[in-house]
Amino acid sequence: MKITDKLISAIDKKLERFDPLWQAEHGVGGQRDRYYDKTGVAKWREWRGVKDTFYDYTQWLYNLYSMVLMVGSAPVACLKGFWEYRWMGSYLGTFMFIDRLFEGFRGYELRTAHMNMHAIVQSLTKKIALVLANDKRLGGGPLSDNMVPMDEVLPPLFMTGFKDLIPIPLQTLPEFIICDIDQHIEPYYIDVAESFGLPADVCSRCSAETGVAIDDAFPIIGKAFLTTNMPCNASEATSMFQRRRLGLPDMPVTMAMIHNEPGAHPYSTQVLRDAIAFIEKEYGVKYDWDALFERAKHMNEQNTIELEKWDIFKTPHSALCGIAETLYRLYSWASVNGQEDYFTENDRKVIKIMRKAYEERYRPFKGKTRHRAFLWGPSAVYYTDFPTWIQNCWGINIVLNMDSTMGHNMIDTEDPEKAIEDLALFSEKGVMRHHAVGGWENVNALWEWAKNFDCDMVIFNDNVACKGMNGVHALMEEQARDLGFHFIFLEHDLEDARTVSRRDMRKIVNNYMTVVLNEEPLDPTLVDFDDSLAF
Amino acid sequence: MKDLKHLIYFENLLQDAHNELVSKAVEQGLHPLGYNCYYIPEVLLNLPGCFSSRLRAPRCNSTDVANYYMTTRNCPYVRAILERAIEGGYNYLEALFGAEGCAAMERMEEHFFLINPVKNEKFFTTIIDPPMKGDKTSLDYYKAQLKLKVLEPLRDRLGVDISDEAIRKAVEQSNEIYRIITEIGNFRKADNPVITGYEFHVIQLVSQVCPHSLIKPYLEETLEELRTRQPEPKFPFRARVALVGSEVDDPEFTKLIENCGAMVVADRYCFGSFPSREVIEIQEGESAFDAVCRHYLHWSQCARFMSGDKIEQRHKEVERLVKEFKADGVIYENMKFCEFWSYEKVLASHVFTNELNIPCCTIEKEYSLGAVGQLRTRFQAFIEALEIKNIQGGR
């Protein structure tokens, strides 16, 4: 052992009483003790030992650096953006958001988590600066007309064949990511939609998108708009408002809903061809298959790595866990979708760490995991750190999330005909859609996934406004009973924390763990607390 | 007005999905084929040897078992249908042709093969994936889906003739019904009509839930009767409205509006005659099947359609009905928990009120009419507003 290691070890031993994990283990405190009541404001940063605390803090600085670069690259546009858009303010909560995502993370899992998170932060900050600098509402920019606003649920990989155009998932910046960061922002937009007459029982995410449209809070970019029928009914319906408010020529890219049947794919393939023709016409550009192939190679490599990650997830030795996996896969697949080299490079680095951890038979979270759970159904966007909480409080490791199973078929990189067919299949298996809609077999695939990933528990996200998932309620519960899984229906309202609060969600898990399984929490300070004022 | 001769008989037919005429047709050896949604062309379920039965759940008092399967947070129509199926109300069916018209509908139809509520050994279910645009790609997909999920199962499982000739015959026979219903419906255009909205609603419904061959004589006789029926000396209502929106299969709902003082002169909703009773025209060189698909895709007014032209068509169609049937305003309804019609209702009421200058009252309803006091108040207020507008010369 090197002298520095000895020194660090001694300091760690000396200061271990400040570590919330140690405190919880010894009954003298825990994670929640660091916070001011009701808020997400910590009195001090989490002490994780010398190395991990130092690493965590440098990553905090690294993310801050990306934020500074964002403002520095387009200072006037960013200032105008803060002035114009209510949602911009929520990005100020980014650091608190990241801190709470990785509470209790140590060692390898902390490193992979930050690597993935920084990939998102550096990409997102660039995208915000790019969009604001070219937003016609704020004066426009040189790339305004080179941008193609698209529904964020439509995978943009096929658009990379237009090498001079920039596909922008329209709802991601003003609506989706902000809800990940801040539970209080979305209700404003939901109220806007409801004050216009929309009932409160529709999906809150789509209601929020409608509110953003009515509130004129979407950036104005591009010359034409690609909407989509994915993932579900309300999403289709909200696009009626968005197209009307944006006032751009639009084309709904309506992929097959019942997408697990052979007859669906030729149709979806033709719809993609129609979409390409539409963009060619509206933007006066020609599709370049070689440009597509170049990016498809990146997507293929990322998916190849993803499949290797899954093999490691099936073991207790994964260095990539919970929300660090879920959020990254969601962003890198749905938003980036092969367009940025950074994500391929990041995947290569992360898989190396995962391989090393596996070889060492490393156990994350200091081996405190008691249950391995598959998280099924669309998750509550306003409670992004739920997987972190459930690990820290009850030792339940969210091994994989339904949305991580999105399109992982390889795209042909030589034959355009084959490539577009692969892209159709790939796109049909999009976010919140692959297993949530399109037929019973898709949703019922849960049990195979849970079994393959060696899970003993299934947590079924029960979005109170999701008509499709509500429609399989009893059948899922009966299946769980028959197949012997611990099963928790986790009620939430997707983007409206007023209906089912984070605390309510925790209560559902707490009740199951204490009443059904008779277990004791790992960290009693996390069982019941009020974070209603937190970002 | 003098009572229509068959009205009470028609009303009785609507008291049960498995009604007298359905039983008779089953006894005659016809194949009873169920469907829920306009996306399934009724005419294809009326091929020789078959008859269509659009599923309702009349007199549905409770959906407790369906609530267990689908939660109380789902469309009350689909819950009522599932409940009725579990109760055994559709045991006469040999098939259900479903459509993924919406997520709730699809989930409900899936229960028909997952928990096997229909106790009939021949029974099977298929579900089509209907398109969301009216373009050629969508039409091709629609044709492929109907062929795969409706025609071929009819041929392969029930031995039904699905030849062009057979489809032409079904189109011809269906058109006869459609012409009768359209002619009856057109009486509502008169300043002082010889038919009420309620009566028409009953007639339209029996034409959807009874075997065409057996209900046709009654419809013909009713049409003859209406041709000579004397209207009230003076138009008995205070206003005329078009009823627009999602699923309505209970004529009591129309009666509720009419009891508040407004005649329902046009019915543009699921189970209504717009669309459903337009005559199917087979163009020269076109196969009967292609004509059916083209017809249904063109006329469908489902809020599920996303493309600009179809959204525009929805609004234009209501505007046309308002003009042709001289409606003073529109009552726009949606079934509670219906995502599509919730959105469309909000958008359409904005378009009608602010762009087309058509007064619009929007309401949300349950499947079973229970406590209607609030609805009555809304309708009365709206009708009063229309009346005042008329008194003030349209201002």
Mutate to test the interface with A, among B83, B139, B342 (most CBs of A within 10 A): B342
Q: For chain A, what is the mean pLDDT?
A: 95
Whether A8 has its CB under 8 Å from any CB of chain B: the answer is no
Q: What are phi and psi of A460, to 5 degrees?
A: -105, 110
Q: Which of A240, A438, A471 lies nearest to residue B311, judging by beta carbons?
A: A240
Q: What is the pLDDT of residue A281?
A: 98
Separation between Cα atoms, residue B29 and residue B103, nearest integer Å: 34
Cross-chain residue pair A471–B70, CB shorter than 8 Å: yes
pLDDT confidence bin for A434, thresholds 50/70/90: confident
Whether B340 has its CB under 8 Å from any CB of chain A: the answer is yes
Cross-chain residue pair A467–B129, CB shorter than 8 Å: no
Residue of B nearest to A201 (CA): B337
Whether B87 has its CB under 8 Å from any CB of chain A: the answer is no
Cross-chain residue pair A475–B69, CB shorter than 8 Å: yes
Whether B311 has its CB under 8 Å from any CB of chain A: the answer is yes
Does A263 score more than 90 pLDDT?
Answer: no
The β-bridge partners of A376 are A460
Q: Which residues in chain B are contacts of A257 at CB distance < 8 A? A: 100, 129
Whether B107 has its CB under 8 Å from any CB of chain A: the answer is yes
pLDDT digits (tens, 9 = 90+) for A80-102: 999 999 999 999 999 999 999 99
Q: Which residues in chain A are contacts of B134 at CB distance < 8 A? A: none
Q: Which two tokens stand for residue A57?
A: 């803090």
Cross-chain residue pair B340–A202, CB shorter than 8 Å: no
Whether B223 has its CB under 8 Å from any CB of chain A: the answer is no
Cross-chain residue pair B343–A256, CB shorter than 8 Å: no
Peptide bond into A378 cis (omega under 30): no
Neighbouring C-beta atoms of residue A137, cutoff 10 Å: 16
Q: Which of B108, B141, B342 lies nearest to residue A267, judging by beta carbons?
A: B141
- Determine what percent of chain A is predicted with pLDDT higher than 70: 100
Cross-chain residue pair B342–A202, CB shorter than 8 Å: yes
Whether A440 has its CB under 8 Å from any CB of chain B: the answer is yes
Residues of chain B under the 70 pLDDT cut: 394-395
Whether A471 has its CB under 8 Å from any CB of chain B: the answer is yes
Separation between Cα atoms, residue A184 and residue A204, nearest integer Å: 13
Does A276 score more than 70 pLDDT?
Answer: yes
State how far residue A450 is from chain B, nearest Cα, in angstroms. Answer: 21
Cross-chain residue pair A470–B307, CB shorter than 8 Å: no
Nearest of B226, B115, B340, B63 to residue A472 by alpha carbon: B115
Q: Which residues in chain B are contacts of A251 at CB distance < 8 A? A: 307
Q: Which of A264, A438, A467 lies nearest to residue B74, judging by beta carbons?
A: A467
State how far residue A210 is from chain B, nearest Cα, in angstroms. Answer: 9
pLDDT digits (tens, 9 = 90+) for A325-338: 999 999 999 999 99
Mutate to test the interface with B, among A190, A257, A282, A479 (most CBs of B within 10 A): A257
Q: Which residues in chain B are contacts of A201 at CB distance < 8 A? A: 73, 336-337, 342
Q: Which residues in chain A are contacts of B141 at CB distance < 8 A? A: 256, 267
Whether A446 has its CB under 8 Å from any CB of chain B: the answer is no
State how far residue B351 is from chain A, nearest Cα, in angstroms. Answer: 11
Separation between Cα atoms, residue A253 and residue A274, nearest integer Å: 8
Q: What is the DSSP string of A102-170?
A: TTT--HHHHHHHHHHHHHHHHHHHHHHHHHHHT-GGGT--TTGGGEEEE-TTS-GGGGGGSTT-EEEET
Whether A450 has its CB under 8 Å from any CB of chain B: the answer is no
pLDDT digits (tens, 9 = 90+) for A298-350: 999 999 999 999 999 999 999 999 999 999 999 999 999 999 999 999 999 99
CA distances to A209, A322, A526 from A101, rounded to whole Å, are 25, 9, 14
Cβ(B110)–Cβ(A440) below 8 Å:
yes
Q: Which residues in chain B are contacts of A236 at CB distance < 8 A? A: 132, 304, 306, 340
pLDDT digits (tens, 9 = 90+) for A361-410: 999 999 999 999 999 999 999 999 999 999 999 999 999 999 899 999 99
Whether B127 has its CB under 8 Å from any CB of chain A: the answer is yes
Q: Which of B111, B131, B308 lies nearest to residue A254, judging by beta carbons?
A: B131
Cross-chain residue pair B132–A236, CB shorter than 8 Å: yes
Cross-chain residue pair A274–B135, CB shorter than 8 Å: yes
pLDDT confidence bin for A437, thresholds 50/70/90: confident
Cross-chain residue pair B103–A239, CB shorter than 8 Å: no
Domains of chain B: 19-161 (3.40.50.11890), 231-391 (3.40.50.11900)
Cross-chain residue pair A198–B343, CB shorter than 8 Å: yes
Structural element, H or E, at residue A305: helix A289-313
CA distances to A33, A487, A491, A504, A507 from A530, rounded to whole Å, are 12, 25, 18, 10, 11
Return the SS3 of A225: strand
3-state secondary structure chain B: CCCCCCHHHHHHHCCCCCCHHHHHHHHCCCEEEEECCCCCCHHHHHCCCEEEEECCCCCCCCCHHHHHHHCCCCCHHHHHHHHHHHHCCCCCCCEEEEECCCHHHHHHHHHHHHCCCCCCCCCEEEEECCCCCCCHHHHHHHHHHHHHHHHHHHHHHHCCCCCHHHHHHHHHHHHHHHHHHHHHHHHHHCCCCCCCHHHHHHHHHHHHHCCHHHHHHHHHHHHHHHHHCCCCCCCCCCEEEEEEECCCCCHHHHHHHHHCCEEEEEEEECCCCCCCCCCCCCCCCCCHHHHHHHHHHHHCCCCCCCCHHHHHHHHHHHHHHHHHCCCCEEEEEEECCCHHHHHHHHHHHHHHHHHCCCCEEEEEECCCCCCCHHHHHHHHHHHHHHHHHHHCCCC
Q: What is the pLDDT of residue A32?
A: 96
pLDDT digits (tens, 9 = 90+) for B48-62: 999 999 999 999 989
Q: Which of B78, B114, B346 lies nearest to residue A475, judging by beta carbons?
A: B114
Whether B108 has its CB under 8 Å from any CB of chain A: the answer is yes
Whether B132 has its CB under 8 Å from any CB of chain A: the answer is yes
Cross-chain residue pair B137–A270, CB shorter than 8 Å: yes
State how far residue B266 is from chain A, nearest Cα, in angstroms. Answer: 24
pLDDT digits (tens, 9 = 90+) for B136-162: 999 999 999 999 999 999 999 999 999
Residue of B nearest to A267 (CA): B141
Mutate to test the interface with B, among A470, A492, A496 (most CBs of B within 10 A): A470
Residue of A nearest to B142 (CA): A267
Q: For chain B, what is the mean pLDDT?
A: 97
Cross-chain residue pair B303–A237, CB shorter than 8 Å: yes
Separation between Cα atoms, residue B33 and residue A26, nearest integer Å: 68
Separation between Cα atoms, residue A175 and residue A192, nearest integer Å: 13
Instruction: Tell me what ipTM this predicted complex has.
Output: 0.95
Whether A6 has its CB under 8 Å from any CB of chain B: the answer is no
Whether A474 has its CB under 8 Å from any CB of chain B: the answer is yes
Query: How confident is the model over A4-21, as a mean pLDDT?
Result: 95
Q: Which residues in chain A are contacts of B75 at CB distance < 8 A? A: 467
Q: What is the pLDDT of residue B395?
A: 67
Residue of B nearest to A464 (CA): B73
Q: Which of B78, B132, B344 lies nearest to residue A229, judging by beta carbons?
A: B132
Residue of B nearest to A470 (CA): B70
